[in-house]
């Protein structure tokens, strides 16, 4: 499984992971809602479970993904400042480009 994190997103995620209360946690990407041929995504700080895969990224952030969940393979995490500030999670490999 693959996960891509942009530079903007990595900066924000690392700030959260560096907090004392999150020292034993990793970033989890999850499907909050799936319908038809696409999904909606969310983020959480969590610890891996037996049914998870931990994926290393080129931004030195390990990401927890649920094993066997096709909508999570190839997910991309970005952080935008305009038109409003926040995370944008898409999966271009699944045809999800965030334009829903």
Nearest residue to 78 via CA among 62, 98, 64, 94: 98
Nearest residue to 71 via CA among 57, 89, 83, 54: 89
Q: What is the pLDDT of residue 97?
A: 62
**All structural domains of the chain:** 4-90 (2.60.300.12)
Look up the pTM and report it.
Answer: 0.91
Cis status of the peptide bond prior to 6, with omega within 30 of 0? no
Residue 70 phi, psi dihedral angles, 5° rounding? -60, -30
Mean pLDDT of 40-67: 96
Neighbours of 96 (CB within 10 A): 20
Structural contact between residues 3 and 10, judged by C-beta atoms closer than 8 angstroms: no
| pLDDT band (50, 70, 90) for residue 98 | low
Q: What is the pLDDT of residue 92?
A: 87
């Amino acid at each position: 499984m693959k996960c891509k994190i942009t530079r903007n997103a990595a900066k924000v995620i690392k700030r959260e992971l560096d907090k004392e209360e999150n020292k034993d946690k990793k970033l989890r990407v999850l499907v909050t809602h799936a319908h038809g041929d696409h999904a909606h995504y969310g983020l959480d700080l969590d610890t891996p479970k037996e049914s998870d895969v931990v994926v290393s990224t080129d931004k030195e952030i390990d990401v927890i993904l649920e094993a066997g969940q096709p909508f999570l393979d190839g997910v991309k995490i970005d952080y935008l400042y305009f038109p409003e500030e926040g995370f944008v999670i898409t999966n271009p490999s699944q045809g999800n480009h965030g334009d829903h």
